[in-house]
Amino acid sequence: MTQHSSDKAVNGALKDAQVAINAATTRDRGRLLALLGRWRRAPGDAAAREAFETRLQTSIRQRETRAAQLPRAEVDPVLPIAGKAEEIVALIRAHQVVVVAGETGSGKTTQLPKLCLAAGRGAAGLIGCTQPRRIAARTVAKRVAEELQVPSGGVVGYQVRFNDNVSDATAIKFMTDGILLAEIASDRWLSAYDTIIVDEAHERSLNIDFLLGYLKQLLARRPDLKLIVTSATIDTARFAEHFDGAPVVDVEGRGFPVDVRYRPLEGEGEESGERSVLDGIVSVCDEIMQIRGTGDTLIFLPGEREIRDAHQALERRKYRHTEVLPLYARLSAKDQDRVFNPGPQRRIVLATNVAETSLTVPRIHYVVDPGLARVKRYSPRQKLDRLHIEPVSQASADQRKGRCGRIAPGTCFRVFSEADFASRPAYTDPEIRRASLSGVILRMLSLGLGDIESFPFVEPPDPRAVADGWQQLAELGAIDG
């Protein structure tokens, strides 16, 4: 064999090796690329070639074993997303980023991970599904495990703060967006994952905006990684544009009609404030209890203190065969599970906005919405974050309304006027527009996300707020230079 033909054979082997890496696990991809680089620098080094090929074959076998153990994924035919299942699977295979806009009750949260399995994902690495709240990550993981008929902590697991229920066999991992963000600090390539689903992106928390910006940068360096951005009330054009014209799939919600009834408070104002809202809620509950039927009621409240006040007020009403249950993030897992496993009695569930998305509280026929939420806003004058109770956006109010149209026709009682609803903003302000940017800058520096000015946010913050953030950090001595 001539030198020319020998070089040609080596170059051909190197090209084949580059392609073969796609059949390995995502965890091994970085190591394999490093070994390939070593072999490429010394094409005649037999030891370098052998090290690469040995590692490659081991990784391919691990992926094949993992693929053989994955369960068969079948979409629940009752859910609206089933009608778009084939289209979504085809888009996942053909595109790196897919935006799914699904109305409340469409089944996107539980069915999308299964559609990823159907598209061949989950064998090379984990399908990571982020949720804004711990309670949602835990309950959705258990629901998906039940549907796939596998034990929780096996093929389907979850990780939240203080609780890790993931094993080597896990293919679908539910977690809070904060957990995935923390993983970036120790693994810049997110090499454990072959697919990431960012659910409830419309909430636009700082964690979600950080993730969407970082993933935009990472996708260019990891062509094997797939991203699905999903939400119920999503600004699809903005998200699609952020990811360079990603395809958008619209999924309709469950088709049960919801009757909206407005019960505005009399004498609203600073003097009556919170007490009037509570009186309005009790009055609506009295009205619901006179309706025949066994449907449960879900009441949205701004925080734990308001839940306690409402709990005491409703217990004093002594409704027959009715139990009053709280639901909020800090509640113990045992008490949370009571809400998701209804007994024979009629129930009134008092929840913060944890029940607004992802979670489906079973058997809800009525929603009572005072239209309020506790929102953190930064005051530039006082240099402090303040938690205000303020009206929710139209999108959030519609999310809450959709909670009672899941299993049968429902009724939503809004404890405010129709004119008040019409005057509200369409979407909730992104957290980056109302947060202290000094904390945002410091967090970005600690996570190694780079400068806030050049980071690809979906909506960049105001330059004046950025300058104020840098100045505050300099005054505190938190940064040098």
In a structure prediction context, what are the per-residue pLDDT tens digits for the chain, which is 481 residues long?
Answer: 455 555 677 777 788 888 888 999 999 998 999 998 888 888 878 888 899 899 999 999 999 999 999 998 888 888 889 889 999 999 999 999 999 987 777 888 899 999 999 999 999 999 999 998 888 899 999 999 999 999 988 999 999 988 899 999 899 999 999 999 999 988 999 999 999 999 988 888 889 999 999 999 999 999 999 999 987 765 677 888 899 989 999 887 666 889 999 999 875 444 444 457 999 999 999 999 988 777 899 999 999 999 999 999 999 999 989 999 999 888 888 888 888 888 889 999 999 988 887 677 888 999 999 999 998 888 877 778 888 899 999 988 988 998 887 778 899 999 999 999 999 998 888 888 888 888 888 888 888 888 888 899 988 888 888 888 898 899 888 888 6
Note whether 354 and 133 are within 8 A (CB).
Answer: yes
Provide the H-helix boundaries in 344-462: 394-401, 418-422, 437-447
Query: What backbone phi and psi angles, to 5 degrees, belong to 333?
Result: -60, -35
Pairing of strands 126-131, 193-198: parallel
Provide the H-helix boundaries in 78-205: 85-94, 108-118, 134-148, 177-186
Q: How far apart are CA 299 and CA 214, in angstroms?
A: 36
Confidence at residue 201, expressed as pLDDT on a 0 to 100 scale: 86
Confidence at residue 273, expressed as pLDDT on a 0 to 100 scale: 43
Q: Residue 155 contacts by C-beta under 8 Å, 6 or more apart in sequence? A: 69, 70, 71, 145, 148, 169, 170, 171, 172
152 beta partners? 156
Whole-model pTM: value is 0.89
Q: Residue 437 contacts by C-beta under 8 Å, 6 or more apart in sequence? A: 378, 452, 461, 465, 466, 468, 469
Pairing of strands 384-391, 372-379: antiparallel
Confidence at residue 3, expressed as pLDDT on a 0 to 100 scale: 52
Q: How far apart are CA 286 and CA 343, in angstroms?
A: 21
Confidence at residue 254, expressed as pLDDT on a 0 to 100 scale: 64
User: For the sheet containing 156-160, what is the strand order?
Assistant: 163-165, 156-160, 172-176, 126-131, 193-198, 226-231, 97-102, 248-251
Note whether 442 and 474 are within 8 A (CB).
Answer: no
Coil, helix or strand for 410?
strand
Provide the H-helix boundaries in 199-252: 206-221, 236-242
Q: How far apart are CA 425 and CA 136, in angstroms?
A: 26
**Residue-wise DSSP of 454-473:** TS--SSPPPHHHHHHHHHHH
Closest CA to 396 of 440, 361, 354, 445: 354
